[in-house]
Amino acid sequence: MKLKIQGKELRVLGFPEGPVISVAMNVMEKHFKHHSKEEAFEILKEVLQSPQDYASDEVLGLIAKQLIKMSEAANPLSSGEGAGGEVSLNQSGISFNVFGQEHIEEGAMHQMYTAAKLPIAVAGALMPDAHSGYGLPIGGVLATDNAVIPYGVGVDIGCRMCLSLFDIDPKELTQRESYFAREINEATLFGSGAQFDQASDHEVMENELFHQLPLLKNLHGRAWKQLGSSGSGNHFVEFGVVEIGEKDAVLGIDAGLYVGLLSHSGSRALGANIANHYTKLAISKRRLPQDAKNLAWLTLDEEEGMEYWLAMNLAGDYASACHHIIHAKIAKQLGRKPIKMVENHHNFAWKEKYEGKEVIVHRKGATPAGKDVLGIIPGSMTAAGFIVKGKGEMASVNSASHGAGRRMSRTRAMESVTDKQFRDEVEKHGIKLIGGGKDESPFAYKDIEVVMKSQKQLVDIVGRFTPKIVKMDGAKHKSWGKKGREEVTGE
């Protein structure tokens, strides 16, 4: 039986309240899973008693460093910082590669140049779907030294793509359109504040962090009621036709046509609150020039940094759980199990190796594209999406685009696209649209085919998804134009 430790047991041992409890649980259950609980507790007691003796240990050092940080005043100074937290940007930033530069707006380029001047920056890249965001541009990739930037991850932490392939004749999507449309309607909720009356059950809601961090404790109830919902903005659930041209060894699916269920959404209010809370903390600790303010970071040696790292990973697990609940509901109604599921985050930070050194890779609106890593890059409500396989290209820091990318803001799309133009475009492509507004119309997005050509060296296309039945938020968005604000959901 594998080792399983509860937070309350660590508190009995004398572990202080805080992130160290989750760190200790994760370390022991991963690296000492075949030890008995008594043996594990003896090890933990020794670390608790003399954390300095274990600070350099490759495994137990993760626990020891947390204990040391909790007992000593953390040194707020780091590279590029002065007394009081003032931070100077480097005169010349690190070099970074840009893919599809001719299609990227100047604002996104400027934001990436600013990020490249951070004293913690190690490597970077800009994807062909890039456009302006908060802090790091959407489509921006930045590797940093022992530091995480909350707005380098984004507001919608763990925003995710998930595709289930079913061995169903795609003709059924037309012949039984109302049936498939109903299943999408009943499987999830759309809208920024949407909550279920009856919460779904999932182990992610039992994570100890919900009881250890005051911020998460206050969000637990709402997060549970939003589990399995899809939000607003560019989030969707759709049925379509998946075409596999030839069998790929990694994807492992025979050539042919399949029914695909594709979803796009993130961590809802949970992720947004985590992002905003820790961004405020980061800004209070590191005072950057005004145009770089939202790039404030937390180091992973600081308690706040470790807290954010743990909370971010929890939000990622929560986003994944939302997708799995939606797909499980629909699969049950279809009476079929998917023959394959492909999924990936695209608003997240990962610990990875770059030129032999561990770095933190932020992918804000970028798809992981390490060697043979599968992912999904969608187009728009009328344009194809793609199943891709990463080539492991270091020039892009093992990344690719996360979609087609916007070519006009939501406000501009609402003002410049007529209802007739929108309706005609959807009908021309034979799309059954449930909800959705002009802010997400096909005209608001870049040409996905051009975007894919701009990243041929980054990914191989192993499958093509053509949307047929699309469900999005159906809310009216007339107020956006008046307020001049852009929704950041799905950023």
Task: Kindly indicate the confidence band of residue 19, based on its pLDDT and cuts at 50, 70 and 90.
Answer: confident
Mean pLDDT, the chain, rounded, equals: 91
- Return the pLDDT at 68: 85
Region at 372 (left for phi over 0; alpha for psi -120 to 50; beta for the rest): left
Give the rounded distance of the alpha carbon of 441 from its chain centre.
23
- Return the pLDDT at 76: 40
Report which listed range, 15-29, 124-138, 189-203, 402-416, is most confident: 124-138
Per-residue H/E/C for 254-320: CCEEEEEEEEEECCHHHHHHHHHHHHHHHHHHCECCHHHHHHCCEECCCHHHHHHHHHHHHHHHHHH
Domain ranges of the chain: 7-71, 152-483
- Strand-pairing partners, residue 86, are 287
For residues 428-463, one letter each, b for 16 or more C-beta atoms within 10 angstroms of the residue's C-beta and e for the rest, the string is eeebbbbbbbbbbbbbbbbbbeebbebbeebbeebb
Residues 451/128, Cβ–Cβ less than 8 Å: yes
pLDDT in tens, 170-191: 999 999 999 999 999 999 999 8
Residues whose CB falls within 8 Å of the CB of residue 49, separated by 6 or more in sequence, listed in order: none
Average pLDDT over residues 108-133: 96
| H/E element, 11 | helix 7-13
Residues 180/330, Cβ–Cβ less than 8 Å: no
Residue 489 pLDDT greater than 70, yes or no: no
Closest alpha carbon to 308 in 362, 352, 367: 362
Domain 152-483 classified CATH 2.60.40.420?
A: no
pTM: 0.83
- Return the pLDDT at 245: 96
Question: Letter for the amino acid at 1?
Answer: M
Residue 399 pLDDT greater than 80, yes or no: yes
Residue 233 pLDDT greater than 60, yes or no: yes
- Return the pLDDT at 74: 38
- Return the pLDDT at 488: 40
pLDDT in tens, 192-209: 888 999 888 999 999 999
Closest alpha carbon to 236 in 465, 6, 28, 479: 465
